[in-house]
Amino acid sequence: MALSRLSSRSTTLLQPLATTSLLRRRHISTDTTPITVETSLPFTSHLISPPSRAVETSSQELLSFFRDMALMRRMEIAADSLYKAKLIRGFCHLYDGQEAVAIGMEAAITKRDAIITSYRDHCTFLGRGGGLFEAFSELMGRTTGCSKGKGGSMHFYKKDASFYGGHGIVGAQAPLGCGLAFAQKYSKEEAVTFTLYGDGAANQGQLFEALNIAALWDLPAVLVCENNHYGMGTAEWRSAKSPAYFKRGDYVPGLKVDGMDALAVKQACKFAKEHALKNGPIILEMDTYRYHGHSMSDPGSTYRTRDEISGVRQVRDPIDRVRKLIIAHDIATEKELKDMEKEVRKEVDAAVAQAKESPIPEPSELFSNIYVKGFGAESFGADRKELRATLP
Amino acid sequence: MASLLGRFCRKLVVPGSAHGSRMVSTTACDSEAVKSLNLHSAINQALHIALETDPRSYVFGEDVGFGGVFRCTTGLAERFGKNRVFNTPLCEQGIVGFGIGLAAMGNRAVVEIQFADYIYPAFDQVKRVFPTLEFDFSTAEFLIRGFNSQIVNEAAKFRYRSGNQFNCGGLTIRAPYGAVGHGGHYHSQSPEAFFCHVPGIKVVIPRSPREAKGLLLSSIRDPNPVVFFEPKWLYRPAVEEVPEHDYMIPLSQAEVIREGNDITLVGWGAQLTVMEQACLDAEKVLDFIFQLKDNWFKVSNMGLELIMQEGISCELIDLKTLLPWDKETVEASVKKTGRLLISHEAPVTGGFGAEISATILERCFLKVKSLRFNSSRRD
């Protein structure tokens, strides 16, 4: 991994004035002086020239990457414990290992660009500006959740940040995403839609239908395949004739990105946004990995070895990569980063505690929001004579 | 529903079997060996037999190779080989269409849709259903994926539109359906009503392990395409004595699981477990007598009269096949009792209960004193 040494140059400039180590190091959160870092791997492309490997970032950005990814990681681990404690019911699909995709994407786009994803959406929600408290409340089915406790783990949404969720049926979000892109183009919003799907969903017919439409009408749609190599328990080589998902668009250009490198993801998303606004759809394949199983019901070790999981954790972990970058560039010390992680942990614990105290929705909520308010439709419970409500 | 499940899951009494003397059943003779099996094991046994007896039968779907997410297909790949039992990628519409094609060539394909909620993309294909294909869709929810195109347009109409040149008689689409307590929006659906609206296919729903094995074998061997919904709630907790040999339970024949005189209850699948409990409760001497026991001396006269009163005698019918359904059995029962209660998991409006009530009212209008619906789902 080639790292630029700009930091050492500026250190020498400061040397005459520097008396304490504090001055030699860049200030923790506000320094936006550009640092150029090279991505871990070059981009592989299909029908397009790839962007440069040199990514511009800054101390502020790297530290925010670190903090946000640590927050996401901590949240997923907390969700794991809550599920095992039966406070989260139903299904819970965790994103740890894939944080770099959510973070890198956010760094490249604005809140006006829309994101739509599958059921593995907790961290994407956080990336879009969602709060920990709202997330945990939703997971535990409380009224203070982002979907009022009615959606659960798979259905997180955030309208003001253009986050369209949160979809349980595999691949169903692909045509929806293209529809969002159409609306953006029609309204001349100069914004794009990032439609995320997995390697399992990549074999769904509706994805190709969506691609065709997007290409035909030059929609500003960026289709992102989060390839974590396993569709539930099925490895990609067993389910796809061509696991080169970025090439599957055929006439749609594609880019393969190291999804564990937040900076590479940022570069690719920035590039894709520019492309989509001018030329129409593009596919990004994020080569990423999930540490947990498909969901909490899946131990994650029956179809892959524990060595493989720990191997990826040691060599490719996204948080460790950013940590090493930060230390190498002297932006913060090991200890400061550990303190940051501790802070994050406290924050998550506080949010969990607060969410646990939140109320469960009233039974009448079963009947609300089915139709638009004022429709006057009636709804019945199991016994028509006993429970009858006019749908609000 | 969750509390109801908690009540039942610990010790599930399979409808009709605990009160064996009253069961009218067309299954095994007593000399054959039986084994205590739960629902997924019974289905597994049926699949083993089906593949054994017909060399041109295949089982495929998402994750069936290792046994499936509900363990219904364990041991099949090892025993019959990867050429007959194999995994498919995540594409319900493709899977059902593929199966239809296979069946059109005279094979039996058992297709599994992982959850009934996913059947909709294959729905369209179902209308095109070709010869005996048994698809093993892991869940009826996933079946909804297949719903869109294959089942309705391809499977169901193939024989008709080809003037009987081709057919998908051997197609069987298996899918777990129904509430399970933690399924949420997309692992709990009961889409049987959608399929009952499609002429050309059959819809079968077993209530217990013994029924499931017999009905599945009948469905696989039936020369019409069949959509077979398995109540996922019952996969593990429902245990019953299941004969080990090859037997079939006829389709389109409803069974009176419990005889009675006051009211007819009609249901299918997992709901029968609930209904049978309701029958037991209704037949008991009225409960509140026991509640008054502290004030027994005050109410002794009234109490005695109440003890004399009998409970309500219920006739419970398991429809088994929803399309085409056994109208005669239900009609005969309603003519006897004069009252009908239909109970199902799916939403009430447009649910299959509506079809039953319309038909029965038409046939027994003068005899029916009251008619009610009951659904565990909100509408």
- Whether B62 and A234 lie within 8 Å, measured CB to CB: yes
**Residue for token pair 């439409």:** A213
CB B344 within 8 A of CB B351: yes
Contacts of A194 (CB under 8 A, 6+ apart): A105, A109, A113, A114, A115, A116, A177, A222, A224, A269
Q: Is B186 on the interface with A (CB under 8 A)?
A: yes
Q: Which residue has the higher pLDDT, B375 or B193?
A: B193
Query: In the predicted model, is pLDDT for residue B271 greater than 80?
Result: yes
Name the minimum distance, in Å, from the CA of A173 to any CA of chain B: 13
Largest Cα span, chain A: 86
Amino acid at A182: F
- Diameter of chain B measured on Cα atoms: 79
Chain A residues whose beta carbon lies within 8 Å of the beta carbon of residue B87: 234, 238-239
- Do B93 and A205 lie within an 8 Å CB cutoff? yes
| pLDDT tens per residue across span A170-209 | 898 999 999 999 999 999 999 999 999 999 999 999 999 9
Q: Which amino acid, residue B231?
A: P
Q: Which of A103-112, A176-185, A345-354, B161-170 has the lowest mean pLDDT?
A: B161-170
Interchain contact A98–B (C-beta under 8 A): no
Q: Name the catalytic one among B62, B92, B154, B192.
A: B92
Residues of A within 8 A of B91 (CB-CB) are 203-205
Q: How many CB pairs under 8 A join A and B?
A: 71
Rounded-to-integer distance, Cα A37 and Cα A43, Å? 14
**How far lies A92's CA from each of B35, B46, B167, in Å?**
36, 33, 42
Mutation target among B71, B91, B345 for the A interface, most CBs of A within 10 A: B91
Closest in B182, B373, B376 to A384, CB measured:
B373
Residue of A nearest to B145 (CA): A169
What is the mean pLDDT of the segment spanning A62-69? 96
A84 near B CB under 8 A: no
State the best of B186, B341, B345, B372 to mutate against chain A, taking most chain A CBs within 10 Å.
B186
> Nearest 5 degrees, angle CA B14-CA B19-CA B21?
130
Place B25 in a pLDDT band, splitting at 50, 70 and 90.
very low
B355 is annotated as an active-site residue: no
Q: What pLDDT is stored for residue B283 in this prediction?
A: 82
At residue B184, the pLDDT reads 78
Examine the pLDDT at B28 and tell me if it is beyond 90.
Answer: no
Put simply, whether B170 touches A (Cβ < 8 Å) is: no
Name which of A169, A206, A384 is nearest B118 (Cβ-Cβ): A169
For residue A58, give the 3-state DSSP assignment: strand
| Statement: residue B151 has pLDDT above 60 | yes
Mean pLDDT of chain A: 88
ipTM value = 0.70
How much is the pLDDT for B149? 55
Query: What percentage of chain B has pLDDT greater than the value 70?
Result: 77
Query: Can you tell me the mean pLDDT for B215-238?
Result: 94
Window from A78-92, A299-313, B152-166, B172-186 with minimum mean pLDDT: B152-166
Catalytic-residue membership of B187 = yes
Query: Which pLDDT score, from 0 to 100, does residue A389 have?
Result: 57
Three-state secondary structure call for residue A35: strand
Measured in degrees and rounded to the nearest 5, phi and psi for residue B152 equal -75, -45
Residue A16 has pLDDT above 60, yes or no: no
For the cut 50, the answer to whether the pLDDT of residue B221 exceeds it is yes
Chain B (189-208) residues lying within 8 Å, Cβ to Cβ, of chain A: none
The closest CB to that of B374, out of A91, A379, A383, belongs to A383
Residue of higher predicted confidence among A276 and A378:
A276
Asked if A242 and A248 count as a contact pair (C-beta separation under 8 A), the reply is yes
CA B120 to chain centre: 19
**Which tokens in the block code for residue B348?**
């009430």
Q: Which of A111-115, A221-225, A378-382 is predicted with the least confidence, judged by mean pLDDT?
A: A378-382
B91/A366 CB distance under 8 A: no
Measure the CA–CA gap between A151 and A197, rounded to whole angstroms: 19
Say what the pLDDT of residue B47 is.
Answer: 96
In the prediction, which pLDDT does A373 show? 67
- Arithmetic mean of pLDDT, A334-352: 96
B95-137 pLDDT per residue, tens: 898 888 888 888 999 999 998 888 888 887 776 543 223 334 4
pTM: 0.79
Can you give the pLDDT at residue B289? 43
SS3 content of chain B, % helix, strand, coil (to 5): 35, 20, 40
| Domains in chain B: ranges and CATH | 2-251 (3.40.50.970), 256-377 (3.40.50.920)
Do B184 and A171 make contact, defined as CB atoms within 8 angstroms? no
What is the reported pLDDT for B55? Answer: 93
Q: Where are the beta strands (DSSP E) in B11-168?
A: 34-38, 57-61, 85-87, 108-113, 133-138
pLDDT tens profile A300-326: 898 999 999 999 999 999 999 999 999
Q: Lowest mean pLDDT: which of A20-34, A72-86, B39-53, B245-259?
A: A20-34
Distance (Å) from the C-alpha of residue B26 to the closest C-alpha of chain A? 33
Of B93, B185, B378, the CB nearest to A379: B378
Tens digit of each residue's pLDDT (9 = 90 or more) over B329-362: 999 999 999 999 999 988 888 899 999 999 999 9
Backbone angles phi, psi at A62, to 5 degrees: -60, -40
Beta bridge partners of A58: A34
Checking A3-8 for CB contacts under 8 A at 24+ apart, the result is A3/A37, A3/A38, A3/A325, A3/A328, A3/A329, A4/A35, A4/A36, A4/A37, A4/A38, A6/A35, A6/A36, A7/A35, A7/A328, A7/A329, A7/A330, A7/A331
- Which chain B residues have a beta carbon less than 8 Å from that of A379? 378-379
Q: Is the pLDDT of residue A211 over 90?
A: yes
Cα distance between residue A374 and residue B257, in whole Å = 45
**Residues facing residue A198 across a β-bridge:** A226
Q: Does A85 touch chain B (CB under 8 A)?
A: no
Contact B186 A168 (CB under 8 A): yes
Mean per-residue pLDDT, A219-235: 94
- Report pLDDT for A226: 97
How sure is the predictor about B302, in pLDDT bands with cuts at 50, 70 and 90? very low
Kindly tell me if the per-residue pLDDT of A9 is higher than 60. Answer: no
Residue of A nearest to B115 (CA): A169
Residue A265 and residue A257: Cα distance in Å, rounded? 7
- CB contact, 8 Å: A366 with chain B? yes
Per the prediction, chain B carries an average pLDDT of 80
CB contact under 8 A, A91 and B185: no
Contact B90 A170 (CB under 8 A): yes
Q: How many helices (H) and strands (E) does chain A have?
A: 13, 12
